Amino acid sequence: MVGEHGSVNVYSLKGEVVKSIPLPTAFMSEFRPDIIRKAVAVQEANMRQPYGAMKGAGMRHAVSTWGKGRGVARVQRLSQGQKGAQSPGTVGGRKAHPPYAERDWSEKINRKEMAVAKLSALAAMADADKVRGRGHRFNEGITVPIVVEDDIEKLSKTAEVMDVLDKIGIADIKRVKDGTKVRPGRGKMRGRRIRSPKGVLIVVSSKESPLFAGAGNLPGVKVVTSNNLNTELMAPGGDPGRLALFSESAIKKIGEW
């Protein structure tokens, strides 16, 4: 929830409310889920890396057919064996239309649309109903986005960061742990064996902050500077309302947008 007149609480490392500050006007932007989803789809498309079959794949061997009169289909088989090969319609044969590395996956979006999507995703992080609707867990009465004193940027140990999150009332780490699963079937063989939910987005003011080391290995947690915020980070998968934790300095930098 957001406090009265668009204000949020500032929490200490002990989880106590130190003061209240007004939210930057960027958090009051119009909510446009359609443009958010479009912008995220474009970002994800532009991050795709080309891949394809090796040249000559499935064709680098000698094949022959058994000919007529043996009561079997005249499919191409390995010359030094009986296994079917090479023909796309044959068990053990090559792919008919394999992926090719020259394919261009990139997409385009207008600069103004991307700017609207970014502000809209930022505004969704200030709506407690949208944040809870995305599955994040935090105690009732906490104002979102969660703002913590700048001392949090000095934490370099994971145990210290976990202690602060517990004292504030953020239970999202356990949700991510419980939701982390091994993919079924062949999906686990393709470089994405583990499927894990997105957790807290921690925003700091400087890339020199020790918090990158302290919180970077927590499950589902992403640490980023305020200058590097983008729509995909704030609304992973195009679903707005990610739980965010800002340092006080980082939230002030948002006011400069």
Across the range 164-181, mean pLDDT stands at 96
So what's the pLDDT on residue 106?
95
* CATH T-level fold of 4-30+108-254: Ribosomal Protein L4; Chain: A; (3.40.1370)
Q: Kindly report the pTM of this predicted structure.
A: 0.85
Task: Map out the domains of the chain as residue ranges.
Answer: 4-30+108-254, 49-104
φ, ψ for residue 143, nearest 5 deg: -80, 140
So what's the pLDDT on residue 3?
52
**Cα 105 from Cα 47, distance rounded (Å):** 9
* Residue 193: pLDDT over 90: yes
Across the range 32-56, mean pLDDT stands at 95
Please give the DSSP secondary-structure letter assigned to residue 125.
T
As a whole number, the mean pLDDT across the chain is 93
Model confidence pLDDT, tens digit, residues 123-136: 999 999 999 999 99
pLDDT range class, residue 151, cuts 50, 70, 90: very high
